[in-house]
Chains A and B, each alone.
Chain A
Amino acid sequence: MLKYQFFKEFCGFADLKTRQLRVQGQVVDMCFLDGMVNSDKVAEYVAKPILSLDKKPTFDNCMQAILFGAECIEIDDVQSAKKEFLDGKTILFFCCDERAIAVDTKGIEYRAVIEPPTNMVTKGPREGFNENVKTNVMLLRKRLKTSDFRIKYLSVGDKTNTMVAVCWLKGVANKKITKQIISKIENISIDGVIDSSYIACYLDPDKTNLFRMVGSIEKPDIVCSKLLEGRVAIVVDGSPIVLTLPYMFIEDMQSPDDYYYYMPQMATAARVLRLIAMTIAVLLPGVYVAMQVFHYQMLPSKFLITIVSATQGIPFTPLIEMIVVILLFDILREANSRMPQIAGLSLSIVGAIILGDAAVKAGLLGAPAVMIGAMSGIGLYTMPDNTMLFMLMRIAFTLLGGYVGILGILLGVMLVVSYVVSLDQFGTPYLAPIAPSIANDKMDALFKKPLQDLQKRDVSAMSIRGKD
């Protein structure tokens, strides 16, 4: 009955391969998906042990024979058979037996464990995740050699049945948060999960979706350190990006490099620089426009003279001029990320240097506006995960600066801050440990203390030991 139901389901499948293994007059039906299995494994661990049996190939005898070579599980319903079969396992059906065996003969090719293009470091481990959930979990497991490292596998997506592994450290991560995360993932109702970002959408509490409240990391060493801080990691099959929760804004300012310098002062300097760069990226174009339009007295006289002489004859208002510069930069950035790598470099040079220079020489744009636009644009990349958000914010602040002046920018900043401080996730405030101020967590926030001074875990990550 099981065999009949199974074959009825997959009848007409182009890549369904079936073989009949005849041993001592009895037949064992073997089926697998072409391309999903490793044919050597099928021959070596399935066909060979069964064909060399000197007794009847019953369920128990075959299971015993195969168990020596490969992982196999017993199946007694069609749903499980379908699931295992589509997952790349070889299914064995027996005469007069309502049970089947699923043998792990998966042979899907995956990318090697290489240094990821994001999260690159000058010093430190170079391993990165790939698209295989098992490999990714193994990369974590090999660093966390403790029985406290726990994993719960879930299947998400009605059509894709994507394997999702929720990982945490027992005794370190908050039980309540872990349960909430698992429950949220279990309740996801979606056709398919193509990437971990699909899961992130369901875990992100920010209704505007502007502020990213789920960490996304491509390096196992960083995920391990997050797990040690009491966070929960979510590994999704088919995605090299591992999600971490709870997530705070301050994590955007931290880079893996900060932890591999043995001098904490270097990390502090780098973080302060990133904060300054972010502020410049978001606010400088708006402040520049506001000063040109409303508050030119705020500029030192020599600087003002330089700007006036540079912007003489420009046909646009300061606001339009700056918006054009920002849009030009964003178009170049967007095109550069999409065009082929070989063309990208030369075209970006053409775009950035020739276009900018030509626009200034033609008198369409002022050199100060181009310089400020470029400075702001480069600043966006000091926190690469938030580039799009900061890009939108700088346009908004430029408009505010152009229409309302510094007052508009101040109110805009106050509104953004008011919104961001109101965000929290699983009880963890998004702006912790700055607002609310948490002294213990500040030791590794903007200013980094030496490693030996970091005696307690982050309270904001709601770790159990940190709360002590």
Chain B
Amino acid sequence: MNNSIKQTQIILLVIIVVAGGKFLSLPGLVAKLAGRDSWVSMAIMFAVDFVCLAFILWSVYLNKGKSFDEILSDVLTPVGAKIVFLIYAFFFILRIMGGLLDTQELISSTLSVVTNWIAFILPVLFVAGFNVVRGVRNIGRVTQIFFGFIFASVVGILLLSLKNTDFSNLQPHFANGFDLVAKTALDVSFWFSDYIFILFLLGKITKTGWFSVKVSLAYLVGVTITLSLDVIFLCLFGNLAEFSSSALAKVSGFNLTGSVYGRIDWLFVMIWASSVIIKCTLFLWSATMALSYVFGIKNKKGYIILFALVGVLFVLLPLVLPIKNIIVNVFCLGVGKYVTIFVQYVIPLSMPLFTFLSNKKTNGGKNYAKQKTG
């Protein structure tokens, strides 16, 4: 498992994870909760995320080569750190399942390929697993290869849809008040804070010039793409937006020249789907890392066993539990969101302080060792 990664790869990954997967069932769900102003709810969450990202980048700046688990173990004690990592693993697994279930639905509704969950998840897990075992460096390199195609496909979808977009559908603004928009932002927070994978790269990032600025700009690019697609979705569908489960499949369907060019948008949709797979692979890597900290696994064989266990969960859980309903009712509308908010927002916001305390502890330890030996 090679977990060294280049800055460029992190930047591309940030764009991919921010935009990837947010255009499946999320726009329909947000539209259901906040109506025409749903894009504002998403914008609010992105703004909150930006603050958290800034705190994470601050801790990257402060960090003196320590990994995430070392920092948390120093500050929260090893037991506390393990509890936090368990929540992280749980959060990542839920996010991946949600994303993949939505992707399966997108493919079924777009390409008319009826695939059952097992037939869909096994090849996806195989691809993801291969990359997880090879390490985050592999995921970064795959992203470098696919990024151009994914970006072109998003531009293609935007251009195909733009022609029929009626921007007046966004009005009237705040018809149901701003409170509803803000509450919706809190309700859908589960789908955000994608950049927290950076925490698992702590100690592996080489800090060279303008890293924080570049990552922040990458984040803004991802936000712009997502919000643009969401606004177009709302403009195209207006009040009917809440009934669309796979937003991406619907948006590009408004291309009226379909009979002349064929459903070329499906090709774009499929290429875009690779961004969801990359995102899920990255989250799977993060989940595996989190579990490896919990169980103290440090060798490749251990990672493979862990991944196999997680894989079994992925295959079986959606067959016995209504995962999508659980995500919506417990982690979006229910109290479950307060558990995930802890790892999504509380930990990232505390990271600069944790890093500072951990550094101080290490320095103190060194001085103590010096005194003792001196």
Contact = CB atoms under 8 A, between A and B. Distances in A.
Interface in A99-124: none
A407 B270 contact: yes
A435 B259 contact: no
A422 B138 contact: yes
B109 to A, nearest CB: 13
Contacts of A303: 262
A361 to B, nearest CB: 29
Given A417-B146, A422-B138, A406 B130 contact: no
Contact of A300 (B126, B146, B261, B271): B261
A408 interface: yes
Interface in A386-422: 404-408, 410-411, 414-415, 417-419, 421-422
Contacts of A418: 127, 130-131, 134, 138, 142
Nearest to B130: A418
Nearest to A432: B141
B113 A297 contact: no
A436 interface: yes
A300 B111 CA distance: 15
Contacts of B367: none
Contacts of B259: 300-301
Nearest to B123: A411
A118 B123 CA distance: 39
B261 A415 contact: no
A406 B268 CA distance: 11
Contact of A298 (B107, B130, B134, B262): B262
Contacts of B144: 434-437
Nearest to B277: A414
Contacts of B176: none
Contacts of A261: none
Contacts of B264: 298
B274 A410 contact: yes
A299 interface: yes
Nearest to A411: B123
B142 A435 contact: yes
Contact of B111 (A294, A301, A436): A294
A51 to B, nearest CB: 69
A300 B265 CA distance: 12
B9 interface: yes
Contacts of A299: 262
A407 B127 contact: no
B66 interface: no
A294 B112 CA distance: 7
Interface of A: 294-295, 297-301, 303-304, 404-408, 410-411, 414-415, 417-419, 421-422, 429, 431, 434-437
Interface of B: 6, 8-9, 107, 111-113, 115, 123-124, 126-127, 130-131, 134, 138, 140-142, 144-146, 258-264, 266-267, 270-271, 273-274, 277
Given A294-B111, A410-B270, 7 more contacts: A297-B258, A298-B264, A304-B262, A404-B115, A407-B107, A414-B277, A422-B141
19 contacts: A298-B267, A404-B123, A407-B107, A408-B123, A410-B270, A411-B123, A414-B127, A414-B146, A414-B274, A414-B277, A415-B126, A418-B142, A421-B138, A421-B142, A422-B134, A422-B138, A429-B141, A431-B145, A434-B144
